[in-house]
Structure 1
Amino acid sequence: MEIDGVQVHGESGPPVLLLPGGAESCDGFFPGLVEGLTARVIVHDRPGTGTSTVDGSLAGAAAHLSALIDRLGCGPVVVVGQSLGGAAGVLLARDHPEQVAGLVLLDPTPINDARTCAGLERMTVALGRLASVPGLRRPLAAAFRAAALRSGRRQKLRPDCAAALARTAELDIPTLARSVRGITDLARGLREADLPRLPAVVVTADRKPDHAVRQAHERLATAFGGSVVSWPGATHSVHLDHPDEVLATVRELLARVSSAT
């Protein structure tokens, strides 16, 4: 059903808010997750992302999402966020802890690591500028698409996950650059000590223990009082290359949240 233009799947069970990565649309981003959960799953494109026609920024994400939860009357929610959506989930939990019952962060952008975020912002800004040069936008988009399709073939993704990967490969580079803008300042202002203790799982890609992103994820999990999990061969798109494990992880956290209420 739709509530004020927001899709809500399911009529009972704990509320789950999905936050996709980058500036992607939420619809279809998490294959099998909506259908596999006995929950009320909120599918919504926040301002500045997906199909939203409203300008927005990562800095304004927490306030917008908190207002959305209030408007739907469904809080507190379990947040499932991938990549930049995971960073938005962290900011929501920090700024509005009463709205968040639990977190499943899928290889989240490490908003608690200013150095990594600064590199990400520089890279995406540079890509955005390149994409604005006449004659370069189409070749850049084609290169991203080809790389994604090669990755999907190499990982032998199941059909619905391969289709989702193909959709995300059709990214709008300038929009992606705008969605990341300001993340360095947000990371510099985030103190792990300010994060609330709540049920949380941080799913990290298959990286070496000394990798900066892996270490940032471990610090996030510690700050929330949660745990870190990783699976062999998991990539940044862990929701696509390990969809069954992700679904099981979300189900387990929902069960923990439900049993505690």
Structure 2
Amino acid sequence: MAIDGVRVHGASGQPVLLLPGGAEACDGFFPGLVEGLVADPGCRVIVHDRPGTGTAAAEGTLAGAADHLSALIDRLGCGPVVVVGQSLGGAVGVLLARAHPEQVAGLVLLDPTVINDPRTCAALERMTRVLGSAAALPGLRSLLPRVLRAAVVRSTRRQRLRPDCEAAQLRMADLDIPVLARAVRGITELSRGLREADLPRVPSVVVTADRKPGAAMRRGHVRLADAFGGEVVCWPGATHGVHLDHPDETLATVREVVTRVSAAA
């Protein structure tokens, strides 16, 4: 079913809302996940590019993302949803759960941006702002994207990903840096205003990349999981793109949370 650019796959079952990382388009971002969830346990999977990201024609802000998604869920008449968010999409999922807890039945956060860590968010916003400004300079407008793409291609070749996951990662290599900088804008202020005590207790899993236990990202993920009353999992060798280097585990984790949500309904 398609409604004004929003695609809902599956005719019945627990609704699942997919939130891709960065400013990426949702279609094809999570290889195998839509088909796998529709087949088992039988979900309705919402594929949507919020304003300011992907193929969306309308401009939008990170600060407005939660209200936009809440209105979308109301319009579709399919709440509450299980949210699956990667990177910045994970941060958006956290913001949605805080602002509209009645719309969120469960969460799977895939190496989410630590919206609960103002210092890390400030560094991220500063870095993307600098890259966005650099990408606008005549001498770097074409060079910088080529350099970043070459780095992604080299990394992808080393990883030996599943073919559909490799294709998805290579699509993301064509990064629009100014668009990403706009998508991240305001995250520092949002992070400073977020209190972990305000987050609802819902069935949830936070998947963290295979990094050192003392890393700021991992510590932030542990705090997020504690706030939601969920658990942290880490798969050996997992990178920031956990949905691409561990697609089967990602699907199994989402299925498990959907099953818990359905059992509690």
TM-score between the two structures when normalised by the length of structure 1: 0.99
Residue aligning to 2:176: 172
Residue aligning to 1:17: 17
Matches for 1:92-131 after TM superposition, within 5 Å? 92-131=96-135
Superposed CA offset, 1:99-156 (max 9, x none): 0000000000000000000000000000000000002021111111111111111110
Q: How many angstroms apart in 1 are the aligned matches of 2:108 and 2:13?
A: 17
| 3-state SS, counterpart of residue 142 of structure 2 | helix
Matches for 1:239-250 after TM superposition, within 5 Å? 239-250=243-254
Which of these residues, 129, 142, 159, is aligned with residue 155 of structure 1? 159
Matches for 1:25-174 after TM superposition, within 5 Å? 25-37=25-37, 38-174=42-178
Q: How many angstroms apart in 1 are the aligned matches of 2:4 and 2:14?
A: 20
| 3-state SS, counterpart of residue 166 of structure 2 | helix
Equivalent residue letter for 1:213: M
Residue aligning to 2:193: 189
Residue aligning to 1:4: 4
Residue aligning to 2:226: 222
Q: How many angstroms apart in 2 are the aligned matches of 1:178 and 1:59?
A: 11
Q: How many angstroms apart in 2 are the aligned matches of 1:83 and 1:239?
A: 10
Equivalent residue letter for 2:150: A
Which of these residues, 229, 232, 236, is aligned with residue 232 of structure 1? 236
Residue aligning to 1:256: 260
Structure 1 stretches of 4+ with a deviation exceeding 2 A read: none
Q: How many angstroms apart in 1 are the aligned matches of 2:141 and 2:157?
A: 25
Q: What is the aligned length?
A: 261
| 3-state SS, counterpart of residue 13 of structure 2 | coil
Deviation at 1:4, TM superposition (A): 3.2
Structure 1 residue runs without a partner (length 5+): none
Deviation at 1:3, TM superposition (A): 2.2
RMSD of the alignment, in Å?
A: 0.6
| 3-state SS, counterpart of residue 81 of structure 1 | strand
State percent identity of aligned pairs.
77
Structure 2 residue runs without a partner (length 5+): none
Q: How many angstroms apart in 2 are the aligned matches of 1:53 and 1:34?
A: 23
Deviation at 1:5, TM superposition (A): 2.6
Deviation at 1:221, TM superposition (A): 0.1
Superposed CA offset, 1:78-102 (max 9, x none): 0000000000000000000000000
Equivalent residue letter for 2:145: A
Q: How many angstroms apart in 2 are the aligned matches of 1:87 and 1:137?
A: 29
Q: How many angstroms apart in 1 are the aligned matches of 2:243 and 2:5?
A: 26
